[in-house]
Structure formats: C-alpha cells, structure tokens
Amino acid sequence: MKQKETSVLAQGREGTKTDGFMSPMIDLKIDYGFKKVFGTDENKRLTIGMLRAILPDKDIVDLTFIQNQADVFGSDAKKSVYDIRCTLSDGSRVIVEIQQTKQHHFKERVLYYGSMPISNQIKVGADYRMEQVIVVSFVTFDMPHGEKWDEKVRTHYRLREVHGDDEMTDRLEFVFVELGRMNKSAEECETFEEKLYHCILHMEKMEVMPENFDEDYFKALNRAARTANFTGEELEEYRKAMRTERDLINQLAYAQEKGYENGKAEGKAEGLAEGRSEASMVIASSLKQQGTLSMEQIAQATGLSVDVINTL
C-alpha cells in the first residue's frame, strides 16, 4: 500500500522535472492548479461537470463561487481555507479540496471544515432550518476504512442510525475521492467519472487528450489547463506553488520514513509516534521560515496545531 501511494505522488511530479522545466499542462493536484481550473467563473462549466459526476443525485443547474475562507467564531478558532467553495442553484453549499499529503486525523479535519458552514447559517433567535453542506475531498492517498467497506474510488458519507439505514439528516455530507485507487490507463477509462479522475491525476503529462476522451468537456478542460494561457504573474505564482508542494511532499515522505525507523529501532509504538511528531515539527519550522504558506496551511500539512507552529 505504501509503495502504491509513493508511485502516485511520483507520477504527479514527473511533469515538473526541475525548476527550469515545466510541462505545458498544469498539475491539477497542486492547490493553485486545481483552483485555477475549477475555481473561476470563466471555467464554471468545468466545475459544474465535475460536481455532476461526483454528486449524481444532485440536479446541478448552476453555481456561484464564494470566498474561500470560512467565517469562524472567536479569535482563537482555526480558520478553514478551502480550494473551492460554492453555492449551488438549490442553495446547497459545496466545499471542494485536493490533498496530496496524508495527515493524522484527516476525517476529523474534514468534519471541522464542514461543521462551520453549518453553524454559521444559524443566527441568534432563528430556527434550525439550514441549507445542505457537502464537503468533497480529492486525495491521492488511500484512506482507512472499516471491514464492511467495499473498495471503490468514491465514497459518500451521511449521518445515519448505527444499526440501520435510518437517516438522521442530509444537511451534512462528505464525499472522498481516493485518486490513488484509480489505477486504470487512459484507454481503460470508460465512464465520464473515470476519465475525469484520470485527468486530475495525470493532466501535467497530457498535452493532448486520449482518443476516447472525445467529449466536449475534456476538450475544454485541456484548453483551460494549458500554462500558455497564464499571465506572467500567474506563471510565477504557479511555479512557486509547484516548488512548495514538491518540497512539502518530499519532506513529509522523509519524515514518515524516519518515524518508522525510530519506531522500529525502539521496538514500540511510542517510538514511532515520537519520531513522526519530531519530524513534523522540523518540517513545520522549515515551512514557516520559507514564508510561502499560511499557518493554517502548514497545520493542515503537518497535523500540528497553529498554536504549536507559532512557538517554533
């Protein structure tokens, strides 16, 4: 399993090679690239097509992009920064993010992300009617699941009764798209959804679309993902984001290996946890000094709290 995750991340870096060479196609696994293609009004059609594939039960006619940082209560509360945040024509609120780095308590973090748009809808003196909130997380790693889970790329969660299918409410839902489980070649992709996942995984290596990706959607996606369409400022921002993402992935991979080595050497789980924690703090300190990521982004990447990072 670990070897599989590494190969997916390595594939994502092939298009960048070195700082002096960049693929003519954008890397959609990098936050900046994902937002550039799926988070702008000019590409709204691409975002609608993506969400229709991931949320087939929703009748998505239109959407409106809103600010990507959620309001929080209190100055000490963590801020949540999303890759994409939008409202559908039926009032539903959808949060979309993409993650390349495996994190501790990832599902709990996603729960935190989804709970704020829920709580922020309730004003003092108002009743508890609220619009639906759906959090969509694309990840390049395999997530842990229970014994009854059937292996699949897309998993959809709702609040249900423990011993049956009685639904408590549909106001909060979570969708995880585990791109690392998408192991089909371009020629093997048959459905629109499979083709979409393949593009997100491999766009930086796809100068032209495969012959079987003949829908108008993928032709438009190919045009939107060309770095030749960037302004000079956008190109520099993308290069900076690309270097930061690559450094972060390499540092976290090293930290994970050191954590395993320390745990194995001490022969106990405590050694493993201590090794990982120490490595995470070293990485957080390094990223803080670089100044390219916010405290919240460093916290998301390392699993440390903002308070801990501020002390480094």
Kindly calculate the radius of gyration of the chain based on its CA atoms and give it in whole angstroms.
20
Region 45-69 average pLDDT = 90
Pairing of strands 93-99, 63-65: unpaired
d(CA 173, CA 122): 18
pLDDT at 307 over 50: yes
pLDDT of residue 210: 94
**Edge-to-edge strand list for the sheet holding 133-139:** 63-65, 84-88, 93-99, 133-139, 167-178, 154-160
Q: Which tens digit of pLDDT belongs to each residue from 264-303? A: 565 555 544 555 566 677 677 767 776 667 777 777 667 7
Token pair, residue 11, equals: 């594939």
Q: Which tens digit of pLDDT belongs to each residue from 92-102? A: 999 999 988 77
Pairing of strands 133-139, 93-99: parallel
d(CA 296, CA 79): 7
Q: Which tens digit of pLDDT belongs to each residue from 10-53? A: 333 333 343 434 689 999 998 889 999 999 999 999 999 999 99
Region 175-203 average pLDDT = 95
**Helix intervals (H) in 120-226:** 192-202, 216-224
Across the chain, mean pLDDT equals 79
Q: Which tens digit of pLDDT belongs to each residue from 145-157? A: 888 888 899 999 9
Pairing of strands 154-160, 93-99: unpaired
Region 3-14 average pLDDT = 38
CB 81 within 8 A of CB 69: yes
Angle, CA 204 vertex, CA 201 and CA 209 arms, to 5°: 85
CB 104 within 8 A of CB 308: no
pTM of the model: 0.73
pLDDT at 219 over 90: yes
pLDDT of residue 82: 57
pLDDT of residue 76: 39
